[in-house]
Structures are given as structure tokens and as C-alpha cells.
Chain A
Amino acid sequence: MNININNYEEWMVDYIEGNLSKVQEEKLMHFLEVHPELKSELEIFQQTKLQPDMHMVFENKEMLKKEEAGRVIGMPVWRKYAIGIAAAMLLFAGVKFLSVNNADVSGIKYTAKEISKPVFAFKQKETTDSGAIQSEKNIKQQPEIYFAEEKEIKKEKFADDKKELKEENKMEQIQRDANFVTEDMEFASIDEIDVIKHRGRIERDVNENYLQYTYANYVQPEMKTKNNNTIIDKYNNTVAFTESIGSLLGFGKDDKEKNDTDDLKETHIKIFDIEYYNRKKTDK
């Protein structure tokens, strides 16, 4: 069909819709040459091409979206963070554990050095009991001798009993724990810590909640840190913190009441040198 005065609108619309072939386009242009008064109509037709209002958008598209599988989903946000923190702490603990092991030699040295002080006190008490009161000056002249005696006793115990050896290992661990805290918890300085160690008491406490008790025996309770916490608060906080990490990962502190008749699946984890256990009953 050819273009004429009755159907030119259809041709124009087809033109702006892009439906015309090259030949048809030429026919339309030729028609407009003949009817120039209709040219403006084609221009107006071109204005009927709608432009979307790009400012009109669906606000907050996120609400339409769904969580992708493979991501960690269905877990409350706090747990994501908690696991992140726990992972970071484990890494930190791992590094710390290595450094604690490396520091073992110096740690023992430190303990040995500090032992001299409580030993004085002990000896002073002893001498008080026997009635012969020594002056502080006199005590200070003998510390190394006394320390040597103490060491000998330890050696004897090692030889005597394997159980005692185990206890001794535990005590070493306690010392490491103590060192860890003193070295890393922003205390004023190690020198300022007055050790009032009492060896007999420590041994008794080993089988109880030894970490907290023993620590109290190692240092003066009123010793304050920069944050105005006592040194024991600091240590307890550390223990509580590691415990919370342990429990977050499903581990608990070692409970001695293990029923031997049960088949148990046991997993160990060590955080800041403190062991946690996860025991699950298994069906036979």
C-alpha cells in the first residue's frame, strides 16, 4: 500500500517505531517533500516517544532480595561476630602459646628470683616461732641458700612419686599462666609485684579450682592495675574470657567426674594454656 493523505499517520508512526524498510522510508520522505505542511506533524509524532522517568525508582530494593545459599545464613548477626572474635582470639592464643613456651626459661628464672621474697617471710615466721627474731638485714644475706634447699626438696618429690611429678607440671603451668598475665596485662612492671608465694598452700590448691586460688597466692590481692582492677580481677577476667570462648565453641572446663563406663568422644582445646574438653556420649 502506498502512502497517501489518508494513511500518512500510520506511515509516520511506523517510521518512528522503526517498522519501515529503507524503500518505505524514502517513500515517506518523498511524500513530505510534496506535503511540507505535514512535516511538523512528524516532529510531534516523534515527541510521543515516551521517556521513562529515571527518578522514579523502587526504593529499598534490598527488602526484595533473598539470602544466597552458600553464604553463612540463618545465623544471628551476633554469632557471626562472636565466631569471628573467637577465631581471632584462637589465633592470638596460638601466637601467645608459642611465645609462652619460648618464654618458659625466663619465666622460671623470674619465678625463682621472686621466690626469695616469700621465703624470707617464711623463714622469718619460722625463726619467730623458735623465739630467735632475725633482722631484715640478716635475712637478706641468706636468700640463695634457702632457695637451694627449696630446690632440693622439689627434686626429692620428683623422684618419689609420679603423681607428684604431674602436680609439679601443673604448677609449672600455673607459673606460666601467672607469667603470661604479668607480662601481657599492662601492669606497671613486674618488679612492683610482690610475690607472697606459699608453696605448701599451692600444692593443696592444685586439685581445686587452682588457677584462681593459686594466683591469689602468687601476688598481693590489692595490687592495682591501670584500670583500677586488682591483679586478680585481671586474671579472673582472662580466665572468664577464655571460658566464654571455650563454651562458645562447645567446650567446657575439665570436669573430673568422668564416668568410665560411658563411651565418650573427647575433644580437647587449649586457650591461653587452659584446657577445655568437649565430651560426647557415643552409642555402643
Chain B
Amino acid sequence: MTTKEYNEVVDTWADGVFRFIRKNLTNEDDARDVVQNAFEILWKNHENVQFEKAKSYLFSTAYHNMIDFIRRNKRMNYVEEMDEGAKGGTAEMQIDVKDAIEKALLKLPEVQKNCIVLRDYEGYSYEEIGELLALTESQVKVYIFRARQTLKNYLVSIHHLI
């Protein structure tokens, strides 16, 4: 991959990889650090990484960076974030479906969340998600199913409450 192609990867995928990481790290600066770090690693290896493979290399690097980051900072506030929705009373319940989905998304187990985010945000195939998250295709399919099922149940519960 040439420098020009590397810069093209920055333009094309920086936002996407940032959104993906941001779904796991509520602190924006942490997410930025992880993304920046991933790009640094991509740059170090840019001569060995083909342009066509750059996206998956980038996402994979960022993902593993993020896992390391979470391990290093075990008391991450993303765990705390999950309880927030439950605390909110019915009066404050969001009618906006999109907001509700975003909240529900944060409650999903990590692996399900990552599967569905990569699937919907980036349009990854099951196979690609499997490669990235070290899962089999059928595992990915099951996780996505469970994620959608949980989200659907959450939405149904909101509809009932309203």
C-alpha cells in the first residue's frame, strides 16, 4: 500500500472505525486514542498490507487495541452505562426508537454488540465478522440473531409501557 493509499484509507475508514470503537468505549478520547493507535500500526506495516485488505486490517487492529485497552482499564464505565437505562423511570422513557435502540445496544453482551455493529454499520459479511472477532460464521449468525431478538424484545417492552 502506498502512502497515497494509506491516506485514502484514513479518509474512507477513520469515521467508521471510530464509530465501531465508540460503541464500546463511552469516553470519546479513549476511542480516539485507540483509533489513532490502530492507524499508527497500519502505517508501520503499510508496505506489507495490501490496499484491498487495509480496511479489515484496520478494524481488526483497532478491535484488538480496544480489547487491550479494556483489559488494562477494567473498571470501565461502559459497564456502568448499562444500568442507566434500567434506572430511568417510565416518565423519562424515550419515544424515539433510534435513541431507544442505541440505549438497548449498550446493554447487549460485547460480542453481540460488536457483531451487529459491524454488520449494520459497515455491512460486513458473517465471514468477515468471524475473521475479525475470531468466531465461526455460525457463531456470528447466532450472536446477531440473539442481538436482534434482545433489541426487539426491548422495543416491544417500551411499546407496552407507552
A17 x B144 contact (CB < 8 A): yes
B120 x A52 contact (CB < 8 A): yes
A262 shortest CB reach to chain B, Å: 44
Give the docked Cα–Cα distance between A69 and B117 (Å). 36
Q: Which of B35, B117, B155, B159 contacts A48 (CB 8 A)?
A: B155
B108 shortest CB reach to chain A, Å: 11
B39 at the interface (CB under 8 A from A): yes
Q: Which one of B4-12, B49-57, B67-75, B81-89 is at the interface?
A: B4-12
Chain B: CB-nearest residue to A50: B120
Q: Which of A44, A53, A64 contacts B155 (CB 8 A)?
A: A44
Q: Which of B2, B10, B144 contacts A61 (CB 8 A)?
A: B10
- Mark A167-181 against chain B: 1 for CB-CB distance below 8 A, else 0: 000000000000000
B121 x A50 contact (CB < 8 A): yes
B4 shortest CB reach to chain A, Å: 5
A47-B97, A47-B155, A50-B116 given; A58·B6 CB < 8 A: no
A57 at the interface (CB under 8 A from B): yes
A140 shortest CB reach to chain B, Å: 76
A58 x B18 contact (CB < 8 A): yes
Chain B: CB-nearest residue to A42: B152
Chain A: CB-nearest residue to B159: A44
Chain B: CB-nearest residue to A17: B144
B18 x A48 contact (CB < 8 A): no
Give the docked Cα–Cα distance between A57 and B35 (Å). 12
Give the docked Cα–Cα distance between A66 and B144 (Å). 37
A13-B145, A50-B117 given; A64·B36 CB < 8 A: yes
B39 x A64 contact (CB < 8 A): yes
**B35 — which chain A residues lie within 8 A by C-beta?**
58
A67 at the interface (CB under 8 A from B): yes
Among A50, A61, A65, residue most surrounded by chain B Cβ atoms (within 10 Å): A50
A89 shortest CB reach to chain B, Å: 33
B134 shortest CB reach to chain A, Å: 21
B120 x A51 contact (CB < 8 A): yes
A65 x B10 contact (CB < 8 A): yes
Give the docked Cα–Cα distance between A65 and B8 (Å). 9
A41 x B156 contact (CB < 8 A): yes
B18 x A66 contact (CB < 8 A): no
B76 at the interface (CB under 8 A from A): no
B131 at the interface (CB under 8 A from A): no
A49-B120, A50-B121, A64-B14 given; A9·B144 CB < 8 A: no
Report 20 cross-chain contacts, Cβ distance below 8 Å, ordered by A residue.
A10-B145, A13-B144, A13-B145, A13-B149, A41-B156, A44-B152, A47-B101, A47-B152, A48-B152, A48-B155, A50-B120, A50-B121, A51-B120, A52-B19, A53-B19, A56-B15, A58-B32, A61-B10, A61-B11, A65-B10
Q: Which 4 A-B pairs have the closest CB atoms?
A: A50-B120, A58-B18, A48-B151, A58-B14
Residues of B within 8 A of A (CB): 2-4, 6-7, 10-11, 14-19, 22, 32, 35-36, 39, 43, 97-98, 101, 105, 116-117, 119-121, 144-145, 147-149, 151-152, 155-156, 159
